[in-house]
Structures are given as structure tokens and as C-alpha cells.
Amino acid sequence: MQVLCDLDAIQEDQSKGFELNGISLFAVRKDGQVHVYQNQCPHLSIPLEYMPDQFLCSENYFIQCSTHGALFEIDSGNCVSGPCVGDKLTPIETTIENNQILIRIPDELTA
């Protein structure tokens, strides 16, 4: 596991992008939990955000792809609306210890 950031770096109902070991990631803090995904829409393999750290819809209820408006559930990464319905975001294993967000990047993303 490696440190992504301090838990306090992401406020509740907010998101934040990261570049780590050449891999684009983002984290969302929702309902006291932190969810981390690869920053890549499964439809066109492009980044999701329209501005730095802006990964959520206007109601902060879904992750939203800025290109085609696809919506993804925050807790599962499942696409529920848009051109990639049935696909999902690539999850990153995440734990919180000592007020730090720790992640484990899957081997297939580092190859």
C-alpha cells in the first residue's frame, strides 16, 4: 500500500484528482467513505473531469464524465447512464489508516 494523501485533503461530497507513478486517479469522499478509481472513462478511455478535481455531477450524487455525461455510482463505479451503461470504472483498493488514504494500484495498471 502507498499513501495517496491525507484524509483531510478531500472534504465530504468532494473529489480530487491525482497523478501517481504515471497513472491518473481520482478520489471521492462520500458518506464518510473514500472511493478511488482510475481516471479513465470506459467508453473512450479519456479522463473524466472537465476542470481539475471536478469529477462529480452538480448534485454531488454521481461521478460524471465531462465528455458524454455518463454517470457512475460513487460507491461501485458502475455506469448507470450514458454510452457506457453496464461498464464500470476501474476501482483502486483503498484503506484509511492514521488519517491517511492508502491505495494499492493493480498490477495491470502499472505494466
pLDDT in tens, 42-74: 988 899 998 999 999 999 999 999 998 999 999
Predicted local distance difference test score (pLDDT) of residue 80: 97
| Closest to 49 in 3D by CA, of 24, 73, 30 | 24
What CATH number is given to the structural domain containing 48? 2.102.10.10
Domain count, the chain: 1
Query: What domain range is 34 assigned to?
Result: 2-110
Angle at 60 between CA 8 and CA 15, to 5 degrees: 35
Residue carrying the nine cell digits 453496464: 86
Predicted local distance difference test score (pLDDT) of residue 21: 85
Predicted local distance difference test score (pLDDT) of residue 111: 63
